[in-house]
Amino acid sequence: MAYADLYNTLVADVGNHILWRQAFVAALKSAADIRNEDAGTDNHANRMVWAQSVEQDPKAMVMEMRYRIMENATIQAAPTEATDNDVQFVVSSLIDDFATGS
C-alpha cells in the first residue's frame, strides 16, 4: 500500500473508516474480556484501568492505539480488507503496552 494511502487511513475518523470501526468493537470486546479475567492475571489492575478507559471513550482509545495497530504487516498491507479476527488479534496483543495505569 502506498504511503499516502496509509496516511489517509491513519488520519481517518473512527466512524468513517472500516478499520477504525473494527478496532472500536475489538477494544470494547477486549475490555469486556478483561472485566471477566482472573484477578491474578499479570498486569490485571492496569488492564482494568485500560478497560474502564475504553468503556468510557472507545474512540479516544482507538485513536491512541491507531499507530501501533497500523504497524501490523497484515493490516498495513490492506487496511480495508483486514478481517475482524486480524483486528481483534492486534488490539488484544497491544493491551499490555497501553495498560499502564495512567
The residue extents of the domains of the chain are 3-98
- Residue range 33-63, pLDDT digits in tens: 999 999 999 999 999 999 999 999 999 999 9
Residues 71, 38: Cα–Cα separation, whole Å = 29
- Yes or no: say if 20 and 12 are a contact pair by the CB < 8 Å rule: yes
Q: What single letter denotes the amino acid at residue 47?
A: R
- Residue range 84-94, pLDDT digits in tens: 999 999 999 99
